[in-house]
Amino acid sequence: MKKRKIGLALTALLASGTLLAACGSSDSKDDSKGGDNKDSFSVAMVTDTGGIDDRSFNQSTWEGLQAYGKEAGLKKGDGGYDYLQSASDSDFTTNINNLVRRDFDLVFAVGFKLEDSVKEVAAQQKDAKIAIIDSVVPDLDNVTSIMFKANEASYLAGVAAALESKTGKVGFLGGMEGNIIGGFEAGFVAGAKAADPKVKVDVQYAGSFGDAAKGQAISKRMYDGGADIVFHAAGGTGQGLFTEAIAQKKSGNDVWAIGVDRDQYDEGKVDDKTNIVMTSVLKRVDVAAQDMIKRSADGDFPGGETVTYGLKDDGVGLADSHGAISDKTQKEVDAAKEDIIAGKIEVPEQPEK
């Protein structure tokens, strides 16, 4: 109700006993802002160019937002939960600004590629609350950075790979070199060497997160060179690993692939009975997103801070192996997990140079 109408209608409102209801509706979010909960906390996200169904971070983050929305009784759209998809890098800033101006209480920016756009919008929109995933944006009180101890889960994958390898040689396929992918490599190599000091780890980088053909070519070299288990942390480039592993399996070679970020079991289907995905290293972005939303809704938005999720937070882990990992190996993996959580094993964060 606009102020000029309050003066004209005050007597009537008092007489009818509806003043309290009128004022209450103006001070809280109504159902046009997302649902029946008038105190609802609205949240939205901006994807990177991988899209909302990328089977990776975008999809996982969206699943976290949807789960929160369902739990809170919110609707998709303004005042509830929503997303904007970025067709190109040039969309990042526009999309973040769009959601901020639509008055979402918290906006997620998915992926390190959005870092510059987050800095730009946050500096201009002081009242905005932005959470960036997989990148650190320091010194801005309205931005929180969400990171993952992927090295811890990768360590477990390394243990499994070394113990399950029949050739004594495993591989790591990286997308582009840097601190984030370096964590995957460091953990995987350390876990493999801890489980079997004699195991050989072939480490190669494609220099791209979107070149499946190159990923397949590198994977072929690894398998042909004796590696029987290859772990990728290469985004879309890693699709080439699955293509090659399936081809190798059809040719009679007993090889395996390890996925990344999400459970990529569906990528490894050879036929109705055979799958080449041994497990996947998970970054539970959905868990992190839900936790951050709830914290922020409770008034505990950690602006200017980096929040890191690891094994003890269920923020990282290994996907179900569907029987590909033996019980004996699984016991070793479980023991390593407990030792990491207890601080008995310190997993390196970056490769040795």
DSSP for 37-102 reads -TT---EEEE--TT-TTSSSHHHHHHHHHHHHHHHHTB-BSTTSEEEE--SSTTHHHHHHHHHHHT
Is residue 133 over pLDDT 50? yes
Give the model's confidence band at 73: pLDDT under 50 very low, under 70 low, under 90 confident, else very high. Answer: very high
Question: Given this model, what pLDDT does residue 224 score?
Answer: 98
Put simply, whether the predicted model's pTM sits higher than 0.85 gets the answer: no
Question: Given this model, what pLDDT does residue 153 score?
Answer: 98
Is residue 316 over pLDDT 80? yes
Enumerate the domain spans of the chain. Answer: 1-30, 34-148+286-311, 150-283+323-342
Tell me yes or no: is domain 150-283+323-342 CATH 3.40.190.10.
Answer: no
Q: Which two tokens stand for residue 219?
A: 């994977």
Is residue 351 over pLDDT 90? yes
Strand partners, 232: 173
Yes or no: say if 174 and 181 are a contact pair by the CB < 8 Å rule: yes
Question: Given this model, what pLDDT does residue 334 score?
Answer: 98
Mean pLDDT of the chain: 90
- Contacts with 8 (C-beta within 8 Å, 6 or more apart), sequence order: none
Angle at 288 between CA 158 and CA 212, to 5 degrees: 50
- The single residue listed with the structure tokens 């070394």 is 162
Yes or no: say if 241 and 234 are a contact pair by the CB < 8 Å rule: yes
Helices (H) and strands (E) in the chain, counts: 11, 12
Q: Which residues of 274-301 are buried (b: 16+ CB within 10 A; e: fewer)?
A: ebbbbbbbbbbbbbbbbbbbebbbeeeb
Q: Which residues of 15-24 are buried (b: 16+ CB within 10 A; e: fewer)?
A: eeeebeeeee
Give the model's confidence band at 39: pLDDT under 50 very low, under 70 low, under 90 confident, else very high. Answer: low
What's the CATH fold of domain 34-148+286-311? Answer: Rossmann fold (3.40.50)
Shared fold status for 34-148+286-311 and 150-283+323-342: yes
Percent of all residues in the chain with a pLDDT value above 90, rounded to a whole number: 82
